[in-house]
Amino acid sequence: MLAIARSELTQIFRNRLVLVTSLIIPIAIGAFFVYRHEVFAEQASLGYIAAIVMFTVGAFGLYTSTVTTLASRRQNLFLKRLRSTAESDRGILAGLVLPATVIALVQLAGILVVFGVVAGQPDNVPLLVVAVIATVAMMIGLALATAGVTNSPEHAQVTTLPVSLGVIAVASWVGITGTEELARVKRILPGGAATELVLNAWNGGVALSDSLLLLAPTFAWVVVAVTFARRMFRWEPRR
């Protein structure tokens, strides 16, 4: 698995498209929100900005790059060749996904630390860490599911749009309007409960037990996505 991960990390820095989507775009957007945090905080809250940064990195830095990587490795038959080795299927996928995951976590940690220094520290750091980990797990699951219906790296530019734009839209909706109205609808949508969890972690004022309950919808999406991926994922080029 680690050998696959090292090879994949090298490929990320050689592929301009993946490099831009996984590194440059998330950092640029994150820096913009940190720089303009006072303006956005007037419309919503600091927790909202943290949630948008989290889903920007998750959608473009992790989700999109993972789908593109898996589609590319399938198209050039690299996935098929890896299955002829002693590595298990789970080990192969873990090795391919690990570099993008580590990069996304490092980006999130760096941006949120800078944001905390500039705008003020979150109320509950451990809860924020839990929210980030849960979100990353959800985005990986959705990436595996999307890769199952993606024929090529070019096709990934289309298949990743609904989820990428969708989770950011949901995060904006929940972050700006809150969950006083349509709470169940907002929490069941992908990213809704995770956004509320970040809001609680950063802004405070909510009981820890109530916040932890928000993990259930997020992990439910992980289960749904992985189940779909098991049905649809292909190791050879789709025809």
What is the rounded average pLDDT of the residues 213-228?
A: 93
Sign of CA pseudo-dihedral 170, 174, 179, 180:
negative
Q: What is the pLDDT of residue 180?
A: 82
pLDDT, residue 157, reads: 87
Segment 200-219 shows an average pLDDT of 86
Sign of CA dihedral 1, 63, 113, 191: negative
State yes or no: pLDDT of 115 exceeds 70. yes
Per-residue pLDDT of 19-38, as tens digits, reads 666 677 777 777 777 776 66
Distance CA 164, CA 146 (A): 11
pLDDT confidence of residue 45: 80
**Angle at CA 174, nearest 5°, toward 173 and 179?**
130
Handedness of CA 186, 191, 194, 195 (dihedral sign): negative
CB 55 within 8 A of CB 168: yes
pLDDT of 78-113, one tens digit each?
888 888 888 888 899 999 999 989 999 998 988 888
What average pLDDT score do residues 231-238 get? 83
pTM for the full model?
A: 0.90
- DSSP annotation string for 140-204: HHHHHHHHTT--SHHHHHHHTHHHHHHHHHHHHHHHHH-SSSSHHHHHHSTTHHHHHHHHHHHH-
What are the extents of the domains in the chain? Answer: 2-232
- Evaluate whether 175 touches 51 at the Cβ level (below 8 Å): yes
pLDDT at 195: 94
Task: Decide if pLDDT at 145 tops 90.
Answer: yes
